[in-house]
Structure 1
C-alpha cells in the first residue's frame, strides 16, 4: 500500500487548522511574533503543501512590537463558506490571550482584510457553519468556578456574518474530560445530526491529548465522550518517535474520507529543536463518534495515502540543499522577520543577485524588530551556509549567521578586533547573558559561514579563502524547547547589529538543506 512520510509540514508549524473548498485544501498554522504572520498553505492531496502567502502581511493589520517571540498570533482557525475564507485568531501578550481577530478573503492567497476585533475573551477561537447557514464562534477561557468545573471552559456565541460581530447569548459548552486539566483548541463538527466538540487537554507538552464531547443541539449541553482521550501519545515510552500529539482539526475529502491534522514533536533523548510540526492522521466515523488512527491508535511516521488523492512528485520542504541567491524582487515565503517588516533593513539588491543587510542597533534578544530574516529548521540533520561580505568599523558591529530559538540563540559573525583585523566570532546568547565561545582572525571580509546540526549539537565553521576552520559546537539541547522555553522551533538566518549609519553587509547567497 502506498504511504507518505509524516510530518507533512516539517519544522515549526504549530496548531494546524484546515478547510476544504471544492478539490482544494487550505491550512494555517500559528506564527507567534514572526512576520509575516499566519502562513497559508494549499494542497490537492493533503500530503504536499505549497505556501500561498500569509494572512497578516501588512503593518496596517496589527502590531507585534513589544511582544516576546512566543506571544503574538496563536492557534488560528481557517474556514470557507459561500466563497469567503475566514481566519479567526488570538493575539497573545504575556502568554495570555489579549485580543480576538477575524480576517476574511475571497482568495486564500490574499490579500486578506484588515482585522475585525471580536468581543471575545480567551484563546484558540474557532468557527462552525451549521446547515442552516448560521455561524457559531467557539473559544476557551478560564472557568468562572474552577474548583467546581475545572480550570477551563469552552464557550460559544453566534457570529453575525453581515456585521462580523458576536451576537446573542453566551453558551458555556463544556469543561473537558480531565478534571484539573485546562481544556482548549475547540473545533465543532456535525455528523448525522449530532454535534461533536473536539478539544485538547493536558497542556501542549508530553500529556497533550485529544478529547471530545457531543450534543444533539449546537448550543449544548455537551456530554463527555467516555472514550476520551481519543488520541494521545502520553502513555507511550521514550522510543516513540512522535510525542506531544494533539490540537487536531478535521477535514473530509472528495472521496468521503475524514483526515485530521495534528501537531506533534520529534524529540531526541527527551528534547526537541524543530518545534511542533503538522502530522496527518486518518479518522473513521462510528456511531460513537470519531476514531483516530483506527488501525493503530497512534500517529505513525509512515501512513497510508488518502484514498482517491495522488500526491505529485514534489514536497514542501527540501530534500536536497537549496541555494537562494535573492535574485527576485522580494524574499520568498519561507523567510520571516520578527514582529514586523524589515524591508528597510534587509532587502534584495536591485538588478543583481544578493541581499543587503543594513545594521540595526536592535539586538536579537529585544522585543523590537531587529535586522534579521530567518527560515524554519526542518531537518534534525541540517546544513545552512551563507557567503557574506562585511567590513566592520568597530568590534560592536557584526553581521552573519544566526540560529534562533526563543530565548536562546547563537551567532557566527564577521566583525573586527580593536586593531581593525577582520574576525569571525561565535557567540551563544540567552536573555540575560552571552558567552563568546571562539574568535579567529580571517584573511579578508568575504567569507562562507556554515552551521551543521545533528543529534548531538550545532557545529559552526568558517571558510575565508585559505581553508575551513571549525570554531566550535553547541549542544543540541541548548536550542530545544525544553531549555529555551516558548512555543516555537529553531530558525536559522541572517542578521546585522550595529549603529544604523555603520554600513551594511552583502549576502551573496544562503543555502539550506538536509545533511546526511
Structure 2
C-alpha cells in the first residue's frame, strides 16, 4: 500500500508526481516503459529504480547499487556523500547509470534490463569534486561524450561544465577534458550544475540548472559541436508560482511524440520532491519551452498515454518472513545479522552493540524510508526482546535534528517507554517526554505529521493512545530530506544484546 499519488482520476495530475525526497531525478523511455533513478547519497541499497507507464503513476521496483564503494568508506553514515545526481541512459541494448561521488570520481554501472542484474561500479574518471556526469552516445557519428559539473567543496571549482570524449564502451575518457560552458562569463549566473546531455535537431543540447536548489532556474544550452560554442536561454523559473528553484531533471519524449520534463523542488524537511512539466519546442528558433510558458504548472492534463491504475512508491510494510520492502534503506552499507529472517511476519532487528548508541545520527544500522511530503500518520507496533541493560529500539524522525519514541531495557531488567530528541547542533540526546513502565515490553507507536513536517508523538501501552512530549519540527540533513527510521541498538560491550520486533508499519493520510 502507499499514500495517494498525483493522479487526480479525471485525466489530470497534480504536482509533485513524486511527493518525497527523490533527489536529482533522471528519466528515460524504452518502448512503452518509463524509468527513473535518483540520488541516494550515503544510504544502501542505492540508486532507486522507479517505473511508470504514464509518467504520473510511479512504483519503486528495486535498486541498482547493492552497496556503496569503497566499502570501508561507507561503513558509517555519510549522509552528504556517496551517490550524487545520476544520469540514466539506454544504449547498445543495455541500461546505463553514471553518477559522481564527490570524493572519488565518476562511476558507471550497466545492465541488460532495468531491474538488473547490474554490474559492479566501474570508475570512469578518478578525482575530487567531479559531479553530475551525463553520457551521450551519438547515433549519427558513433562517437561518445560525457559532460560533468564540479563541487567547489572538493575541487575549489564550480559554475562550469567540462566535456570529454568517451570510449564507446563507457569505460574510460579519451581526453583531459575541456570547459565547454563557463557560467562565470554569463551575467548573473552562479552554481551551474546537474547537466543532462542530448542530441536534438542536429544540435547538442545541455539542460542544466543554476542559481542554487532553493532559488534557481533551469537553463538550456545548445551548440552545433559538442565542445561549443554554446548559446543559452532560461527555460523554466519560479515566476509567480510557489515552486521555488525549479531544479535539475530530465527530458523525455513519449512514443506519441509529446515532450515532458521531470525536475525537483527543494522543500526543506521533505527533501527534493519531483514535478512533471509539459515541454514543447518553439517553431522558428527551436528552443524548448517548459511548463506554462516557462513557469511550473500545478495541475495539468496527463500525458496522452494509455490509462494506468493509480500508483505511488510503497510505504506500508508487514515484513513477511522478516524481510523489509524495497522502500527501506540502511544509513550505511549493511552487515549480516542486522535483520533476521524468520517464518512469520514482522521485522526482527538485532540490538547491535555500538559505541555511538546514544546518537542515532552515527549509527549505520538504522533502517529508513523517505518522509512523505504531505500530512500523514505513521504507526507501528514494537516489542523489545533485548535483554542487555541499555538495549533500546524505536520509531524515529531523523534529520540534522531527530526525535524518537520507543522502549529501553533498564539496569534492573524492566522495560520503559522513552521519548528522546537531539538538536541539530550535534549535542546529545535529552528527554522529550517522561519515561513510563512498559509491561510486557510492548507498545504501539504513532507519529502524526502535519503541515511543515511538524510531528506529534503518541504511544499505546495497552490502555489507549496517549500523546507524549511537545511537537517536534522535522529537519533535513545536508542534501537529504528527513527520514522515518526504525532502529535497535545497545551500548558497546560483550555479548548479544537481544532483538526488537516491529509489526504492521503503516503510513496513512489523515
Q: TM-score, normalised by structure 1?
A: 0.87
Q: 1:22-69, CA deviations, whole angstroms, 9 ceiling, x for partnerless residues? A: 221111000111110010111111111122211111467755234521
Which residue does 1:160 correspond to in 2? Answer: 167
Instruction: State the alpha-carbon separation in 2 of the partners of residues 59 and 472 from structure 1.
Output: 37
Instruction: State the alpha-carbon separation in 2 of the partners of residues 434 and 61 from structure 1.
Output: 31
Q: 1:276-331, CA deviations, whole angstroms, 9 ceiling, x for partnerless residues? A: 01111111112434434353532223221112x1341221146xxx6522114632
Tell me: CA distance 1:24–1:178, structure 2 relative to 1, closer, same or farther (3 Å). farther
Asked whether 1:281 is paired with 2:277, we answer yes
Which residue does 1:387 correspond to in 2? Answer: 381
Give matches, 1:92-103, under 5 Å. Answer: 92-93=102-103, 98-103=104-109
Which residue does 2:87 correspond to in 1? Answer: 77
Q: Which residue of the other structure, out of 493, 503, 506, is the alignment partner of 1:511?
A: 506
Secondary structure of 2:496's aligned partner:
helix
Which residue does 2:261 correspond to in 1? Answer: 260
Tell me: CA distance 1:469–1:165, structure 2 relative to 1, closer, same or farther (3 Å). same
Q: Tell me how far 1:81 sits from its aligned partner.
A: 0.9
Q: Which residue of the other structure, out of 76, 93, 115, is the alignment partner of 1:109?
A: 115
Tell me: CA distance 1:370–1:196, structure 2 relative to 1, closer, same or farther (3 Å). closer
Instruction: State the alpha-carbon separation in 2 of the partners of residues 293 and 247 from structure 1.
Output: 13
Instruction: State the alpha-carbon separation in 1 of the partners of residues 158 and 18 from structure 2.
Output: 32
Secondary structure of 2:256's aligned partner:
coil
Which residue does 1:64 correspond to in 2? Answer: 74
Q: Gaps (5+ residues) in structure 2?
A: 1-9
Tell me: CA distance 1:221–1:169, structure 2 relative to 1, closer, same or farther (3 Å). farther
Secondary structure of 2:429's aligned partner:
strand
Q: Tell me how far 1:380 sits from its aligned partner.
A: 2.6
Instruction: State the alpha-carbon separation in 2 of the partners of residues 296 and 173 from structure 1.
Output: 28
Which residue does 1:183 correspond to in 2? Answer: 192
Whichever structure has more strand as a proportion of its residues is 1
Q: Is the 8 A contact 1:361 1:370 kept in 2?
A: no
Secondary structure of 1:412's aligned partner:
strand
Instruction: State the alpha-carbon separation in 1 of the partners of residues 300 and 388 from structure 2.
Output: 54
Instruction: State the alpha-carbon separation in 1 of the partners of residues 36 and 86 from structure 2.
Output: 10
Instruction: State the alpha-carbon separation in 2 of the partners of residues 59 and 189 from structure 1.
Output: 28
Instruction: State the alpha-carbon separation in 2 of the partners of residues 85 and 391 from structure 1.
Output: 44
Q: Tell me how far 1:82 sits from its aligned partner.
A: 2.1
Give matches, 1:373-452, under 5 Å. Answer: 373-393=367-387, 396-405=390-399, 407-430=400-423, 431-438=426-433, 439-452=435-448
Instruction: State the alpha-carbon separation in 1 of the partners of residues 245 and 189 from structure 2.
Output: 18
Instruction: State the alpha-carbon separation in 2 of the partners of residues 38 and 104 from structure 1.
Output: 12
Q: Which residue of the other structure, out of 311, 335, 359, is the alignment partner of 2:328?
A: 335
Secondary structure of 2:269's aligned partner:
coil
Q: Tell me how far 1:464 sits from its aligned partner.
A: 1.2
Q: 1:164-221, CA deviations, whole angstroms, 9 ceiling, x for partnerless residues? A: 111135222111345461211111222221222221111112x121112221112212
Q: Tell me how far 1:442 sits from its aligned partner.
A: 2.7
Q: Gaps (5+ residues) in structure 1?
A: 267-271
Q: Which residue of the other structure, out of 207, 211, 215, is the alignment partner of 2:219?
A: 211
Secondary structure of 1:243's aligned partner:
coil
Secondary structure of 2:319's aligned partner:
coil
Which residue does 2:237 correspond to in 1? Answer: 232
Tell me: CA distance 1:166–1:189, structure 2 relative to 1, closer, same or farther (3 Å). same
Which residue does 1:45 correspond to in 2? Answer: 54
Asked whether 1:293 is paired with 2:290, we answer yes
Tell me: CA distance 1:444–1:58, structure 2 relative to 1, closer, same or farther (3 Å). same
Which residue does 1:269 correspond to in 2? Answer: none
Q: TM-score, normalised by structure 2?
A: 0.88
Q: How large is the Cα RMSD of the aligned pairs? A: 2.5
